[in-house]
Structure 1
Amino acid sequence: MAGKLGIIAGSGPLPRQAAAACRDDGRPYFILGLDGETEAETLACGPSAMVRMGAIGTALDLLRRNGVEEVVMVGRVRRPGLAALRPDWTGTRLLARIGIRAAGDDGLLSAIVAELEREGFRVVGIDQILASLLIATGPLGRHRPDDVADTDIARGREVATALGRLDVGQGVVVQAGTILAIEAVEGTDAMLDRAAALRLPGPGGVLVKMKKPQQERRVDLPTIGEATVARAAAAGLSGIAVEAGGALVVDRAAVVAAADAAGLFLVGIPPLPAA
């Protein structure tokens, strides 16, 4: 039996799915919610507490007092500015230690993982708790990319990988070889809304999402769900391509059904070979 799992929960359904997986396995767990991010329905899924985002010392103390051995960080979290973060003494020391690395999401998340491990917790990825969420290589559902879409996927994979190396974002929208939009701090949904206004005449474009090459894969893997499909359809896209083995599909049956109904393809693609 694995040790007690601490679920550091952002927003969305994934923290609730992690809690359900623990219940199904008979594994003890504790949910640590983040003020302003975690929904009440997530906190109601089991033993839980809420903590302010910058209260790192309080968070570590809550995990220890509740007997947590392993930790998973899961769910969407809006990155706050330093003024809104209001770090406690432990958080201030962490930010001072990582310095410029806090300028990008990957550097900050990697530093948080390292801090948790320094405090004696084992950090695991959500794919280790819910392995079925990882997408495999190849298409899901009825629809397949055509030659135009395949060309856009190849272009998008290159651009998304380059953006990832710079710790900018994980997604890009490509239409007929033109980059319509790239993902930055606004997130995938807002990027898709923006791409809708930039759509060109002709066949619809493609959303491509790739894990950052240097990314700490235990946190912040690219994720798509029903809302992603709905926004991609509203933007007039022809399909979605995500990194096989490096991206998550939340509620796969519902996502595939939504893509089929919208006439969108959904496909897992391999990452670029390491340089």
Structure 2
Amino acid sequence: MGSETRQGERRAVDAGSDGGKAPKLGILAGGGALPRRLIAAARAQGRAVFVIAFHGQTEAATAEAAPSFWTHLGNAGEALERLRREEVEELVLAGPIRRPSLLKLRLDARAARFVAQIGRRAFGDDGLLGAVVKTLEEDEGFRVIGVQEILGDLLMSAGLYGRHRPDAQAEADIARGLDIVRALGRLDVGQAAVIQQGLVLGVEAIEGTDALLRRAGELRRDGPGGVLVKIAKPGQETRVDLPTVGLTTVEGVRSAGLRGLAIQAGATLVVDRREVISACDEAGLFLIGLDLDREPRRG
């Protein structure tokens, strides 16, 4: 059984003039700071919160920030049982999860049935996540919501941010990157690519953006550095796995010798936006939110 961490559980307060209470929120917490941002924002909205923390995935600070229950990824039975015992009604998936193979998950009986249900519905990465959402809602009775429903201010807006702007070569690389990532998205492969002087240094697959940036840094060519382009997949399930960037992404872009980031406006979460813009300024990087429905604004 998982161990528990409890620190000052707060009960939900009236959510509106009708005197009703906001539904209790369950957070399936991956890594990084995003789950903690959700905890703070939900409480500010008068919502009680309960966290499912996963060994080897969730940061200890997240579990310490709210009433929580530690478990393993393969122990779906006890996680779902605990969520029901805590009277959780809505679920949000937040933070990256490193996905081990099924052989390493050590599935319990409930998890095995859960995976079987998902397997009948899933194909590809986005298909898998969409099937997880559908199974949690249709078979388990929870309502799954997106991070942006609580932290809407994290969504990137269109425009140029900070002091630096892309030159003609960088703009050409952005356009090339959009073509590549759109093709990847149609195949449900990944959300990002690194382009330098028209050359594709790398595309994102299951390894994630941080690993992509490390590989791209090793393949960097002489001359002007490349760009990271990151957008949502066509038809993506927007309640889970929206493209996300933060300070770690900025450091990865800098270390890879790139010149900037181009990310999709309205569909990308930027964690700690002010700090991200400041870090880009200090590193000499441009940061641009792309409005894919029209020509990107250039400030």
TM range (shorter): over 0.9
- Residue in structure 2 matched with residue 121 of structure 1 by the alignment: 142
CA drift of 1:103 comes to 5.5
1:165-219 CA-partner distances (Å, limit 9, x unpaired): 2121111000111101111122111111111111112211100011111211101
Q: 1:6 aligns with which of 19, 26, 47?
A: 26
**Gaps spanning 5+ residues in structure 2: where?**
1-14, 16-21, 295-299
Would the alpha carbon gap of residues 101 and 197 (structure 1) be closer, same or farther in structure 2, given more than 3 Å must change? farther
- Residue in structure 1 matched with residue 184 of structure 2 by the alignment: 163
Equivalent residues in 2 for 1:7-26, closer than 5 Å: 7-26=27-46
Q: 2:51 aligns with which of 31, 38, 44?
A: 31
Sequence identity, in percent? 55
The answer on 1:266 being equivalent to 2:260 is no
- Residue in structure 1 matched with residue 96 of structure 2 by the alignment: 76
- Residue in structure 1 matched with residue 125 of structure 2 by the alignment: 105
**Gaps spanning 5+ residues in structure 1: where?**
none
CA drift of 1:226 comes to 0.9
CA drift of 1:112 comes to 1.1
Q: Which amino acid aligns with 2:107?
A: P
CA drift of 1:65 comes to 0.6
- Residue in structure 2 matched with residue 193 of structure 1 by the alignment: 214
Q: 2:85 aligns with which of 50, 55, 65?
A: 65
In 2, Cα distance between equivalents of 1:152 and 1:100:
39
In 2, Cα distance between equivalents of 1:101 and 1:244:
30
* Secondary structure of 1:37 counterpart: coil
Query: Would you say the 8 A contact 2:213–2:256 is kept in 1?
Result: yes
CA drift of 1:57 comes to 2.1
1:202-251 CA-partner distances (Å, limit 9, x unpaired): 21110001111121110111111111111111111110011111111110
Q: Which stretch of structure 1 is more off in the superposition, 258-267 or 197-206?
A: 197-206
* Secondary structure of 2:126 counterpart: helix
Equivalent residues in 2 for 1:187-266, closer than 5 Å: 187-266=208-287
**After TM superposition, what 4+ stretches of structure 1 lie above 6 angstroms from structure 2?**
none
In 1, Cα distance between equivalents of 2:197 and 2:54:
41
TM-score by length of 2: 0.88
* Secondary structure of 1:215 counterpart: coil
* Secondary structure of 2:47 counterpart: coil
Q: 1:42 aligns with which of 62, 81, 85?
A: 62
Q: Which amino acid aligns with 1:23?
A: R
Query: Would you say the 8 A contact 2:122–2:130 is kept in 1?
Result: no
Q: Which amino acid aligns with 1:86?
A: R
In 1, Cα distance between equivalents of 2:186 and 2:253:
25
Q: Which amino acid aligns with 1:241?
A: A
* Secondary structure of 1:26 counterpart: coil
Q: Which stretch of structure 1 is more off in the superposition, 48-57 or 252-261?
A: 48-57
The answer on 1:183 being equivalent to 2:204 is yes
RMSD of aligned alpha carbons: 1.5
CA drift of 1:62 comes to 1.1
Query: Would you say the 8 A contact 2:117–2:135 is kept in 1?
Result: no
Q: Which amino acid aligns with 1:238?
A: R
Query: Would you say the 8 A contact 1:95–1:102 is kept in 2?
Result: no
Would the alpha carbon gap of residues 115 and 99 (structure 1) be closer, same or farther in structure 2, given more than 3 Å must change? closer
How many residue pairs align between the two structures?
273
- Residue in structure 2 matched with residue 56 of structure 1 by the alignment: 76
Query: Would you say the 8 A contact 2:264–2:290 is kept in 1?
Result: yes
Structure with max Cα Rg: 2
Query: Would you say the 8 A contact 1:158–1:272 is kept in 2?
Result: no
CA drift of 1:120 comes to 1.7
CA drift of 1:100 comes to 6.6
- Residue in structure 2 matched with residue 144 of structure 1 by the alignment: 165
In 2, Cα distance between equivalents of 1:112 and 1:98:
6
In 1, Cα distance between equivalents of 2:125 and 2:105:
15
1:85-108 CA-partner distances (Å, limit 9, x unpaired): 222222222322333755532122
* Secondary structure of 2:184 counterpart: helix
* Secondary structure of 2:69 counterpart: strand
* Secondary structure of 1:179 counterpart: strand
Query: Would you say the 8 A contact 1:117–1:123 is kept in 2?
Result: yes
In 1, Cα distance between equivalents of 2:142 and 2:125:
21
